Amino acid sequence: MRKNNGFTLAEVLITLGIIGVVAALTIPTLISNTNSRRFASQFKKSLSTIKQAILLGEANYDVALSNLNATCGTNGATDRIEDMTICGLFNATLAGATFIPQSTIAREREVYREISTCGIGNTTIGYTLADGSSFYITQGSNSCTKETPCCAFIDVNGKNNPNKEVSGVEVTSYNNLIMPAAYAQDLSEDAQIYVPEDSQHMTDVYPIYLYDQEVVPATAAAAYVLTGVTKKDHSESHRGI
* The amino acid at 17: G
Domains of the chain, by residue range, sit at: 9-163+202-218
Distance between CA atoms of 105 and 84, rounded to whole angstroms?
22
94: left (phi over 0), alpha (psi -120 to 50) or beta: beta
What is the CB-side half-sphere exposure of residue 218 using CA atoms within 13 A?
23
Q: What is the pLDDT along the chain (241 residues), one digit of tens a residue?
A: 455 566 677 777 777 777 777 656 655 655 555 678 899 999 999 999 999 999 999 999 999 999 999 999 988 999 999 999 999 999 999 999 999 998 888 888 888 888 888 888 888 999 999 989 999 999 988 899 999 999 999 999 988 889 999 998 877 644 555 554 443 344 454 567 888 888 888 999 999 999 999 999 999 899 999 988 776 544 444 433 3
111 forms bridges with which residues in the sheet?
none
Distance between CA atoms of 199 and 188, rounded to whole angstroms?
24
Instruction: Report helix angle 9-61 to 86-93, nearest 10.
Output: 110
Q: What is the pTM of this model?
A: 0.78
